Amino acid sequence: MRWVMMSERELNRVEVLTQVDDGRLSVQNGANMLDITKRQMFRLLKTYRTDGAAAIRHKARGKVPNTKIHHAKRDYAVALVKENYQDFGPTLAAEMLAEHHGFKVSRETLRKWMTDDGLWLSRKQRRTFHQPRSRRECFGELVQIDGSDHRWFEDRASACTLLVFIPSRDIAVQCPAGHWMTRPAC
């Protein structure tokens, strides 16, 4: 006796087929339980009777997928990206590979290959964090500067920038109650 790997769904199928084969369950009820047609149930029963429970499992299990790209092609594409398009994103790199080198690969596949080789970082990994400003020792030490380009003197002079320096001690803070207050300086 040999071991056969099966999914939960396939085990359920074998259990129902065993009950139908033993006569404890009708073909129609078994088909309804498995959510298949009577014809499909007879086909499954035929395979179950000839080859046993192992015949019910999916035939493609353990096989290489048809869409798998060979390692040599992958290495060739990554080498081309490293040589010519290292600073490109996966979408543009895939377009350039197709246009200049005749190598067609989807952008998502190329993104995965570039991530595996460390040529591409996801948006989450690229995110930079700003260092928080340390607190000032004394209130009023910090100065905020704001500038505004405008034609302040209308047509009498050229456009200029108004710069406003606001020390933090003069910044109004709104309390939760809705009252405005200004904190005193040190």
Residues 146-168 pLDDT 10s = 888 888 888 888 888 888 877 76
Q: How confident is the model at residue 174 (pLDDT cuts 50, 70, 90)?
A: very low
- Whether 178 has a pLDDT exceeding 60, the answer reads no
- The domain spans of the chain are 8-56, 71-123, 143-182
Question: For the chain, what is the mean pLDDT?
Answer: 84
Q: Mind listing the pLDDT tens digit for each residue in 81-135? A: 999 998 899 999 999 999 999 999 999 999 999 999 999 988 888 877 777 877 7
Q: Three-state SS across the chain?
A: CCCCCCCHHHHHHHHHHHHHHHCCCCHHHHHHHHCCCHHHHHHHHHHHHHHCHHHHCCCCCCCCCCCCCCHHHHHHHHHHHHHHCCCCCHHHHHHHHHHHHCCCCCHHHHHHHHHHCCCCCCHHHHCCCCCCCCCCCCCCCCEEEEEEEECCCCCCCCCEEEEEEEEHHHCEEECCCCCEEECCCC
% of the chain beyond a pLDDT of 90: 45
pTM for the full predicted model? 0.49
